[in-house]
Structure 1
Amino acid sequence: MQTNPEIGRRIVANGIETNYHDVGEGHPVLLIHGSGPGVTAYANWRLTMPVLAKNFRVIAPDMAGFGETERHADDRHSMENWVLHALGLLDALGIERAHVVGNSFGGALALALAIRAPERVGKLVLMGSVGTHFGITEGLDAVWGYSPSLDNMRAILDIFAFDRNLVNDDLARLRYEASIRPGYQESFSSMFPAPRQRWVDAMASDEAAIRALPHETLIVHGREDKVIPLAASLALLELIPKAQLHVFGQCGHWTQIEQAERFNGLVTEHLGG
């Protein structure tokens, strides 16, 4: 019987039965996925987890409202509640302090987590990150406005990746089928209803609070990202005192997939592995 690699372990975090992956040994690293349709921690980090696990204990949860984590029809999703979920997971696992790597939506959450509980966060990695104020792109509006169909999923994947060789019919079908699992689309469509600029603004942290962050921060962005503008990462570079920025040319929003080897090397070096 074939097992689903997206299903890991389960633990109750802040009252939510949470699906998460826990691999490797060493200093904990919390990986927070993005907000695409049908996304899971495994889909987002499948090329990252085994590499980081050589040097660190890697924790990759499906955040509230996503993947195989428990969901309810009356769930209220907000950055505050996502921060509480992340802190609840660290508490449940007995982790006092973890490095945090956040992708897109997960970057906004990583920022908010570091601001809310700076003592719980070691180093930060923000990739293609939300978390500042910017005008919503056509790409992000399309991603958050996804309605389930194979053609729509193929179009979304085309927005994500610069290298079209990464986008094939098999991947589109796999992600489409993930997006229509029971409860997935209902939860997803309720998170970011139009007009969607308000959700970009709701995920933005206070600039003064970002300037006060003491954490060493690696910012990563794909130059051809059609989902989150490079300007968002340039703004973070200006705001965060201990920040460095790496921009990959000929790379879209899928930095950790399109540039997996170099991305993993950058992150490992930054975190001290």
Structure 2
Amino acid sequence: MSTHSNPEVGQNIAAAGIRTNYHDLNSDAPGVPLLLIHGSGPGVSAFANWRPVMPTFAERRRVIAPDMAGFGFTDRPAGYTYSMDNWVIHAIGVMDALKLPRVDLVGNSFGGALALALAVRHPQRVRRLVLMGAAGVPFALTPGLDAVWGYQPSFENMRKMMDLFAYDRALVTDELAELRYRASIQPGFQESFSAMFPAPRQHGVDALCSPEADIRALPHETLVIHGREDRVIPLANSLTLADWIPNAQLHVFGKCGHWTQIEHSARFARLVTDFLDEAA
């Protein structure tokens, strides 16, 4: 374990040739491990994304939360191409490096698109699938997502960004905005972030999509979750996913923006845990 004072820095492992920062809780727990894939906000890390729910999930199972290539404290290889193909390779690399033949998979936003693509391409590596505020199906770029992907570092811009994510503005304190702003200006963070989704950003939305026929063929039991007031990824995305995936169920949180796991963390954790614990 790392003794680094920053809680966003966990352990590291070589995954698909990339030194990868990840968090590994309750590593001796029996059963299918839970792999959490974060979103794509500026300065994001696995810890920042999942910290309210990781301890709850880890009461019952092993929980792994990596920083995906280009994000957080995972290396940013020179000349690396940020694409769905490479992110799937990296995620499978994390599983292989940790000797995880099969996982339950939870993806948030960008991470939902990645989780969906992983399940489509490697269905045998996924037991159950949870998609939260997920991209991965066609939609028109929202002003909210355009602002997130077009972020230019400043405290004021980060404060506006946080307001976009949350329905309850009381969650968005100056302290939180300052913390996330500081995270976004660490060496290399903004450079990789701005390289991922350049304008025109509709191309970025389209590049995250999996083919409709492949989604409709998914065999996995899937829980689709969305915040009703999400201004970043439209609720219609989750309605589409729930329609296309044969074994899907849908839960919509009212009075909730894009931060389901933060704004309704206890209910979110209970919902996901109950879904994952159901008899197969």
Normalised by the length of structure 2, the TM-score is 0.96
Distance 1:56 1:122 in 2: 14
- Which residue identity is paired with 1:139? G
Is 1:266 the counterpart of 2:271? The answer is yes
> Does structure 1 retain, via aligned residues, the 8 Å contact 2:18–2:77?
no
Q: What's the secondary structure of 2:163's corresponding residue? A: helix
SS in 1 for 2:21: strand
Residue ranges of structure 2 left out of the alignment (5+ in a row): none
Give unpaired runs (5+ residues) of structure 1: none
TM-score normalised over the length of structure 1:
0.99
Indicate the residue corresponding to 2:117 in structure 1. Answer: 112
Q: 1:236 and 1:89 mapped to 2: Cα distance?
A: 26
CA–CA separation in structure 2 for the residues paired with 1:220 and 1:2: 34
Q: Give the residue type in structure 2 aligned to 1:189.
A: S
- Partner residue in 1 for 2:12: 10
**1:222 corresponds to which residue?**
227
Which 4+ runs in 1 deviate beyond 6 A?
none
Q: How many pairs align?
A: 273
Q: Which residue of 2 aligns with 1:202?
A: 207
Shift of 1:73: 3.5
CA distance in structure 2 between the partners assigned to 1:157 and 1:168 by the alignment: 9
Aligned equivalent of 2:127, options 122, 127, 139: 122
Please give the secondary structure, in 1, of the residue aligned with 2:34. strand
RMSD over aligned CA atoms reads: 1.0
Residue type matched to 2:193 in 1? Answer: F
Residue in 2 aligned with 1:57? 62
* Match runs of 1:29-40 below 5 Å: 29-40=34-45
Q: 2:218 aligns with which of 186, 209, 213?
A: 213
Q: Which moved more, 1:247-256 or 1:1-10?
A: 1-10
Structure-2 separation of matches of 1:138 and 1:270: 33
- The CA deviation string for residues 20-64 of structure 1, in whole angstroms up to 9 with x for no partner, is 000022320100000000000000000111000011100000000
Give the Cα–Cα distance (whole angstroms) in 2 for the partners of residues 191 and 36 of structure 1: 11
Partner Cα distance (1:229, 1:71) in 2 = 30
Q: 1:42 aligns with which of 47, 62, 76?
A: 47
Q: Is the 8 A contact 2:52 2:261 kept in 1?
A: yes
Identity of aligned residues (%): 65
